[in-house]
Each structure stands twice: as structure tokens, then as C-alpha cells.
Amino acid sequence: MNTIFLDACRGLPVERAPVWLMRQAGRYLPEYMKVREKCGFLQLCKTPELAAEVTIQPVDILGVDAAILFSDILIPVEAMGMKLDFSPAPVFEAPVRTLRGVESLRIPSLEEDMPFLPLLIRLLRRELEGRVPLIGFGGAPFTLACYMVEGKGSRDFATVKKMMYCAPEVFSALMEKLTAMLIAYLGGQIKAGAQAVQIFDTWGGILSPADYERYALPYTSRVIEGLAGKGVPLIHFVKNAGAMLDSVRKAGGDVIGLDWHTALGRARDLLGPDVAVQGNLDPAALFGPRPHIEAEVKRILGENRGRPGHIFNLGHGILPDTPPDNARFMVECVHRLTKT
């Protein structure tokens, strides 16, 4: 099996840098769109055969060094008892705003309440055997809380912040529940066969560093501790956290995901040699001509200066209109330019 991704997560030297792309299974691929014609997004997540098919597509088409479960961070929140729609952005029609609302949420069992997920993981492990490792994932507690309290995406996240400041007992009850849920949820994924886990904290970066340390870090940290000793590397990605990477590091993770707003070289200097990093090409760079893409890959590799423990990735999810050929070319550049 191609283990360079797992080796790099552990900071080991590898023959060439591993690369995968956040949202690599998605609608920029015509092959994915073909599967999506058959069913909606949530249905696709819940149909193991189809989810497995789209999970493997980028491995075949782009030549990436890891597969990531086709799923959504809000799937376990739905299983907690919140009605979820995608239109196409996620919407909870009844957001959580009260202690009673929090108390009515349950901590679901992966095997019983989301059986399609362990099924998908087992199916993928069989189908991927001998090729690349499988990454499981979940949202960070704070990011899930944002969606659950706001009910949808938000520009200012004023509702969740109001709850933090004005009803801290409701906020912390919600975060406690999410923390317990995530330990079970991600632990279940590992048990089913996920070989690494990524925590996506999409919204942690809307907080000031002081608020991040108070309202988000302690919970993420407990999730990460709760997964320690399970033998799989953990990638911790907080978007827009370039000015508080030391806090992100404090929360934990074997690998720190970097968005493109942070210079990778500087981030490595700050984080030190004991933690690996993942990133961090601007997804929009894939709209550029090939010389631009290659120059950007070179720049990022140059910033890494050959240090072990670098997984090449985008700094955020691949954009919907990305030409697949450009994504493939990027993967090829990383492989060619790092071959030892």
C-alpha cells in the first residue's frame, strides 16, 4: 500500500510528498456529477455504494495519495435529532437556542443511527486495499455549534456569539454534548477502519484568539484527547487561524492544517518540528495556467524546505468550477518536484 500519507502525518521521511485535496470528491468532477444525477447530496452520503464510488473517483482520476470519506460534518448532527436540509447550503429549520433545545438532543450511536457510515468505511477499506489510506472526518465542536445555533451559514455569527456572551450555560451545555458526540462518532469511524481522522474547524477563525481559547479550544482539545491512543493520526484544520496557530497547536493534532492565508514556511517555524503540517495552495490557483500552478507548487515546497511531515493540499476545499485537468496537473507537479 501507498503509505506516504500516513508516514508524513507521523513526521517520517517519505520518498515524495503525499498530496490530496480537500473536497476532492465533488462537483468539479463530471464523474461525480453523473452519480449526483441519481440522487440528492444527503442521499448520496447515505448510500454506501454510491458514496464509495465518488470517494474513489479522485484516487483514480487525480492520483491523490489518500481517499477521504464522502460525507458531511452535519450528518451526526442530524442523527442528534435536528432536521437537516441542503438547499444547497445546509439549513436547520429549528436552530438550537435554549437549554431545553440542547437537552432534547441525543448522542447518537454510529453503528445504530448512522449505519451507512461504518458500512461505507468497510466497503472503502476493501475496495482501496493496496492503494491509498482512508481518512475519516468530523466538524470541530465549535463549527457544529455555529451551524446548530445560527441554523445556517452566517456572515457575522452574531447569534452564536450572543449565546456565548449572554447565555454561557446554554452554550457550554451544547459544546459538552457535541464533545461527547464527536468522541464517539470519530472513535466509531476509526473502529470501522478509518486510518486517519481530520477535524474541520471551519468557523473557529471567526473568534478572536482570546475567545477561541475560551469557547472553542477546550472542547476541540478534549475531542483530540479522547481519540488519542487509537493509533491513527489526527489532522486538525482551523480555517482563518493563521494569527493564532499557537492556540490551534495547543488544542492538539498530529498534523495542523493550514489555509492559504498563512505562509507555510513561517507556520512551520512557529509550530516546530514535532508537528506535521498540511496545505496550503489557494484553491483559486487551480484556475491559473499551468506555469502558474507549477510555480505555486514550487513556492510552497520551497517554503517547506524539505522538512519531513508535510502533506500537500489546498488551503481549503477545491472550488466547484475547477478544471479537473488542472487538479491532476497539480498532483503531478507535487509528485514530480518532491521525488527523491
Catalytic positions: 23, 27, 36, 72, 147
Q: 193: phi > 0 → left, psi -120 to 50 → alpha, else beta; which? A: left
Taking CB under 8 A as the criterion, the residue among 16, 125, 131, 261 binding a copy of itself is 261
The answer to the question of residue 166 lying near a copy of itself (CB under 8 A) is yes
The answer to the question of residue 154 lying near a copy of itself (CB under 8 A) is no
196-201 vs 234-238, strand pairing mode: parallel
The answer to the question of residue 147 lying near a copy of itself (CB under 8 A) is no
- Contact stretch for a copy of itself (CB under 8 A) within 11-19, 94-102, 130-138, 279-287: 279-287
**Alpha-carbon distance 68 to 216, whole Å?**
25
The answer to the question of residue 297 lying near a copy of itself (CB under 8 A) is no
For residue 127, the Cα-to-chain-centroid distance in whole angstroms is 22
C-alpha distances (whole Å) from 283 to each of 18, 202, 338 are 17, 15, 20
Residues linked to residue 31 through DSSP beta bridges, in sequence order = none
Query: Are the C-beta atoms of residues 22 and 313 closer than 8 Å to each other?
Result: yes
Q: How many CB atoms lie under 10 A from the CB of residue 140?
A: 28
Question: Exposure pattern of 248-259 as b/e (b: 16+ CB <10 Å)?
Answer: bbebbbbbbbbb
Q: 157: phi > 0 → left, psi -120 to 50 → alpha, else beta; which? A: left
Taking CB under 8 A as the criterion, the residue among 41, 116, 157, 329 binding a copy of itself is 157
The answer to the question of residue 156 lying near a copy of itself (CB under 8 A) is yes
Query: Are the C-beta atoms of residues 197 and 235 closer than 8 Å to each other?
Result: yes
Taking CB under 8 A as the criterion, the residue among 59, 119, 207, 248 binding a copy of itself is 207
The answer to the question of residue 250 lying near a copy of itself (CB under 8 A) is no
The site for a copy of itself, by CB under 8 A, has a size of: 36
The answer to the question of residue 91 lying near a copy of itself (CB under 8 A) is no
The answer to the question of residue 243 lying near a copy of itself (CB under 8 A) is yes
Tell me the one-letter amino acid at 165. Answer: Y
The answer to the question of residue 315 lying near a copy of itself (CB under 8 A) is yes
> In the numeric block, which cell numbers belong to residue 179?
464533545
Taking CB under 8 A as the criterion, the residue among 107, 184, 263, 337 binding a copy of itself is 263
- Contact stretch for a copy of itself (CB under 8 A) within 131-139, 185-193, 204-212, 215-223: 204-212
In the complex, the residues that contact a copy of itself under the rule CB under 8 A are: 156-158, 161-162, 165-166, 205, 207-211, 240, 242-244, 260-263, 266, 280, 282-285, 287-289, 292, 296, 299, 315, 319, 321
